[in-house]
Homo-oligomer: A and B are copies of this chain.
């Protein structure tokens, strides 16, 4: 492998609306790698594919799973080829693709089947298809190995956060507010065994779904928090949302579409409409609930062990002034700023992290988070599809 590794990361999040692509340069040696985004873009799914994905997971059959695996694998491959053309690169310039895939379900706590508890996770977007479409070696299915060793299978970015954001002078929280919000706690001078990470709960997924419902599909997100700023949150409803048992569970924990997807949003919006809340008030309320759920998660599960000097916010949520204001107010002693203030791309971060996870896989470096006393074994994450 060249000492300069060029990876292409693909991330398809809980919002199920498209795929982020980040062409990424990795130099140096783990964990002292330098990671630089050369090109990043987002490509929306065709409307027909999005419609398929927006059906609740419980409506999907084994046939849908197989079809989506190949359909999305092909789309991801095409997305890479398109991004490479725009970046003036050729497939031969890329060492590997790292693709998260589209999560159809994620059940780290397991269900009882045939007399035993079986944890599972399911991402579609076949790595074999991506590799054959692009001619580029592809690493995918990063979550399964972590689930197999008893981990949560999520979040997957902490090792990236550790490499990119650990600091000798500041304790940091790397907070990504995507469809789901997750965080990595990085104590000052952290070693890799010192970090912890978990999903705090819903992120933009809840806000976007509410916006879609109150505008009858005319808008898909609350750009710049305009609606949330115009409305006034209903605190009774905020409290109702925050009663979801997920928020009381101790980390490590992870969540997704099945707990906080369209169904959850739909129930909340229906309740608020019935109580006569305005469009803006509804969006303001769910935004407030998301902000508070994150602040509360930090307060309950991070502060007892780490007082953050800096909270590095990435993902779509960092562009939402209401969410940022709630976090700044909740942690007045910390600098709460978008990734750019710390030299990382807020929008490209997650896709970039998957390019890095592909690199770690090919180097045989475990990428699961093993906090002290977790008893988990280190695991190399991802499966590799070769090309010829």
Does A101 lie at the interface of the complex (its beta carbon under 8 Å from any beta carbon of B)?
no
**A116 and B71: CB pair below 8 A?**
yes
Tell me the number of copies of this protein: 2
Would you call A115 an interface residue if the criterion is a C-beta within 8 Å of the partner chain's C-beta atoms?
A: yes
Residues from 42 to 70 in A contacting B, C-beta threshold 8 Å = 46, 48-49, 51-52, 57-58, 60-67, 69-70
Known: A69-B122, A145-B131, A388-B366. A114 touches B48 (CB 8 A): yes
- Of A214-222, A308-316, A375-383, the segment with at least 4 beta carbons within 8 Å of chain B is A375-383
Question: Could you say which residues of chain B place their CB within 8 Å of the CB of A380?
Answer: 385-388
Q: Is A111 an interface residue (CB 8 A)?
A: yes
Task: Kindly state whether residue A254 has any CB partner on chain B within 8 Å.
Answer: no
Closest to A149 in B: B132
Q: Does A10 contact B (CB under 8 A)?
A: no
Expressed in whole angstroms, the minimum distance between the Cβ of A54 and any Cβ of chain B is 12
The DSSP consensus for interface residues of chain A is mixed
CA distance A147 to B133 in the complex (A): 11
- Answer whether residue A136 sits at the interface, using C-beta atoms and an 8 A cutoff: no
CB–CB A128/B148 < 8 A: yes
Q: Which of B65, B119, B132, B388 contacts A62 (CB 8 A)?
A: B65
Asked whether A119 lies within 8 Å of B388 as measured between CB atoms, the reply is no
Contacts of A147 on B, CB cut-off 8 Å?
Answer: 70, 129
A182, CB-defined interface residue at 8 Å: no
Residues of B within 8 A of A46 (CB): 114-115
**Residue A339 at the B interface, CB < 8 A?**
no
Asked if residues A120 and B67 are in contact (CB atoms below 8 Å), the reply is yes
A118 contact set on B, CB distance < 8 A: 67, 70-71, 74
Nearest-CB residue, chain B, relative to A112: B67
**Complex alpha-carbon distance, A216 and B40, angstroms:** 61
The CA-CA distance from A140 to B128 in the complex, in Å, is 11
Contact with B along A205-223 (1 / 0, CB 8 A): 0000000000000000000
Does the CB pair B128–A141 fall under 8 Å? Answer: yes
CB distance from A138 to the nearest CB of B (A): 9
- Chain B proximity of A9: nearest CB distance (Å): 18
CA distance A148 to B62 in the complex (A): 19
Q: Please, which residues of chain B bring their CB within 8 A of the CB of A69?
A: 120, 122, 144
Chain B residues with CB under 8 Å of A133's CB are 148
Residues on B with C-beta less than 8 A from A70 are: 118-120, 144, 147-148
A28 at the interface (CB under 8 A from B): no
Q: Is B63's CB under 8 angstroms from A383's CB?
A: no
Interface: A121 (CB within 8 A):
yes
Residues of B close to A116: CB separation below 8 A: 71
User: Are A52's CB and B114's CB within 8 A?
Assistant: yes
- Other than the given A46-B115, A364-B388, 13 more pairs (CB < 8 A) read A49-B114, A60-B61, A66-B105, A69-B144, A70-B118, A70-B120, A71-B113, A71-B118, A144-B385, A145-B385, A361-B386, A380-B385, A384-B386
What residues make up the interface of A, taking CB atoms closer than 8 Å to B? 46, 48-49, 51-52, 57-58, 60-67, 69-71, 73-74, 104-105, 107, 111, 113-116, 118-122, 126-129, 131-133, 140-141, 144-145, 147-149, 361, 364, 366, 377-380, 382-388
